Structure 1
Amino acid sequence: MTLSLFDQFMSPECLGIPLIALAILLPWLLLPTPPSRWLSNRLLTLQGWFINRFTRQLLMPLNQGGHKWAMILTSLMLFLISMNMLGLLPYTFTPTTQLSVNLGLAVPLWLATVLIGLRNQPTIALGHLLPEGTPTLLIPVLIIIKTSGLFIRPLALGVRLTASLTAGHLLIQLVSSATFALITLTPALTMLTDILSLLLTMLEIMVAMIQAYVFILLLSLYLEENV
């Protein structure tokens, strides 16, 4: 059976049972749980320092009402980083390469920020659809454009994360396939493709972390407009 490059992004199955649920729940099991005692090991100390720094930076531009989202956004950040990083290991699956998973995370959270804005400050929330000083003839067109841009936001969140991870995995797959094809022909060129594959892997590690941060950062910006 001939496989395509995109078959690596298909949800794995065992005995006909999709294993995407296991791939989504596995990162939660790998994160260490802080103990009740005062002293902890270096891993827990590093994890706590990272969570504190990230939460402080994320909530700095938000007012007091947005601080209620600290636990949700920080947990989602760790969850996305864990899934993205685990997907780079051999014989693993990256759930965040599935658009359905990313939209399942983006749409409810985006909708929650919109509903919070409409409940707490409806005038300001609706005022984002029509900037002050707009000419009368442009009001209907501008409202349609702003409304379309508002509903495109969750789609952009999901597609950005999916496209970034998918493109990186495809590049690594292509370079690795070229390395195996050239290993018996030109050993010198094989060394160059090996170095390129290593550099792409390092780049993909950075992309996995940065895209998770961008996802949460954009959600915090949407939240900032509505609290």
Structure 2
Amino acid sequence: MMTSFFDQFSSPLFFGLPLIAVAITLPWMLYPNPASRWLNNRLTTTQGWFISHFTNQLMLPLNVMGHKWALLLTSLMIFLITTNMLGLLPYTFTPTTQLSFNMGFAMPLWLATVIIGMRNQPTIALGHLLPEGTPILLIPMLIIIETISLFIRPLALGVRLTANLTAGHLLIQLIATAAFVLAPIMPTVAILTFMVLLLLTLLEVAVAMIQAYVFVLLLSLYLQEGV
């Protein structure tokens, strides 16, 4: 029995070794490898169609220079979706509920977009800090505000992904506990609570996919400003 509902977000240990490394490595082992034959099976074909369709949608607003990031962003998208989905299974751990894990993705990638913008288009990159036609008295204030908003982007990326997944898992845990407690006392209410739990689980599956897409989409928008 858990002493706290938040114990599910702590990294599990096995003989003193954290199992978060296994949770991070496992998704890469589940992907089917392309075969050497002309015709692939349904799983590989569906995977290839999804990757191709998503890459086309993601690279559509970017110019040719931004297309170099296609492999990185697509791999990140697939990894986040798989990790989020595996975290919904019983007796599993979701690494993306850890803020440090998400910031490890958000901070380097955001910094790379900023460096690319400063290298390729320094005038335009610095021009985002001060909108055109700003009154002279508001220039110092707007520069400070835009600078803060620039540096808060990676924090927003990590916190958004962490908060949405943590809230969904915690709500599922609360409703599941309520259904378990109400089962011997009020079976009818427990059945209704269980139905709500099923609907919430479907919603959490959608959230797991949407949040991974939003994470990568925002990175592509940040990249668009620099290329």
TM norm. shorter chain > 0.5: yes
In structure 1, what is the equivalent of residue 47 of structure 2? 47
**How far, CA to CA, are the matches of 2:37 and 2:150 in structure 1?**
46
**How far, CA to CA, are the matches of 2:124 and 2:34 in structure 1?**
41
**How far, CA to CA, are the matches of 1:199 and 1:28 in structure 2?**
29
**How far, CA to CA, are the matches of 2:41 and 2:60 in structure 1?**
29
Moved over 4 A (4+): none
Q: 1:204 aligned to 2:210?
A: no
Amino acid corresponding to residue 54 of structure 1 in structure 2: F
In structure 2, what is the equivalent of residue 149 of structure 1? 149
In structure 1, what is the equivalent of residue 93 of structure 2? 93
**How far, CA to CA, are the matches of 1:122 and 1:94 in structure 2?**
39
In structure 2, what is the equivalent of residue 186 of structure 1? 186
**How far, CA to CA, are the matches of 1:120 and 1:225 in structure 2?**
10
In structure 1, what is the equivalent of residue 215 of structure 2? 215
In structure 1, what is the equivalent of residue 115 of structure 2? 115
In structure 2, what is the equivalent of residue 17 of structure 1? 17
Amino acid corresponding to residue 109 of structure 1 in structure 2: L
Deviation at 1:2, TM superposition (A): 6.2
Deviations 1:50-82 (A, max 9, x none): 000000000000000000000000000000000
Deviation at 1:37, TM superposition (A): 1.9
In structure 1, what is the equivalent of residue 170 of structure 2? 170
More displaced 10-residue stretch of structure 1: 32-41 or 65-74? 32-41
Query: What's the secondary structure of 1:225's corresponding residue?
Result: helix
In structure 2, what is the equivalent of residue 74 of structure 1? 74
Query: What's the secondary structure of 1:224's corresponding residue?
Result: helix
**Structure 1: which 5+ residue stretches go unaligned?**
none
**How far, CA to CA, are the matches of 2:123 and 2:73 in structure 1?**
26
**How far, CA to CA, are the matches of 2:106 and 2:33 in structure 1?**
26
Deviations 1:98-122 (A, max 9, x none): 0000000000000000000000110
Deviation at 1:159, TM superposition (A): 0.2
Deviation at 1:36, TM superposition (A): 2.1
**How far, CA to CA, are the matches of 2:36 and 2:135 in structure 1?**
61
User: Across the two proteins, how many residue pairs are aligned to each other?
Assistant: 227
**Structure 2: which 5+ residue stretches go unaligned?**
none
Deviations 1:184-205 (A, max 9, x none): 0011001001101100100000
Identity of aligned residues (%): 72
Amino acid corresponding to residue 36 of structure 2 in structure 1: S
**How far, CA to CA, are the matches of 2:94 and 2:3 in structure 1?**
18
Distance 1:53 1:108, change over 3 A: same
**How far, CA to CA, are the matches of 1:16 and 1:90 in structure 2?**
22
Q: 1:34 aligned to 2:13?
A: no
**How far, CA to CA, are the matches of 1:36 and 1:161 in structure 2?**
37
Amino acid corresponding to residue 5 of structure 1 in structure 2: F
**How far, CA to CA, are the matches of 1:100 and 1:74 in structure 2?**
22
Query: What's the secondary structure of 2:142's corresponding residue?
Result: helix
**How far, CA to CA, are the matches of 1:2 and 1:182 in structure 2?**
18
In structure 2, what is the equivalent of residue 102 of structure 1? 102
Deviations 1:150-194 (A, max 9, x none): 000000000000000000001100000001101100110010011
Amino acid corresponding to residue 153 of structure 2 in structure 1: R
In structure 1, what is the equivalent of residue 127 of structure 2? 127
Root mean square deviation of aligned Cα:
0.8
